[in-house]
Amino acid sequence: DYTDIFACSLGEVIPVPGAVHRLNIPEGTAFNLRAHQQPLMPPQMEFLHGKIDEMLKARIIEHALPEAAKCCANTVLAKKAH
């Protein structure tokens, strides 16, 4: 049921013109700017880079300069149960 309302791929996601995502974070809040990332294995890195490229192409995410980063977090890849 309802399979026609869900995107099957990231390329099918349609950006909403004029939509803006805002986080209401109080001024002066400090976040961690160091990610203590565990090294990824080559297949994991290939998968991650592929997903990033796919999201860039679909315009879900965009490139940002490192100095524009306000917060960093580790990347977590979880294997699907099914």
Q: CA 46 → CA 23, 40, 71, distances in Å? A: 31, 9, 24
Q: pLDDT at position 43, please?
A: 94
pLDDT averaged over every residue in the chain: 86
Residue type, 72: C
Separate counts of helices (H) and strands (E) for the chain: 1, 0
- State the pLDDT confidence band at 56, using cuts at 50, 70 and 90: very high
Q: CA 4 → CA 8, 26, 44, 59, distances in Å? A: 9, 40, 31, 22
- State the pLDDT confidence band at 49, using cuts at 50, 70 and 90: very high
Domains of the chain, by residue range, sit at: 3-68
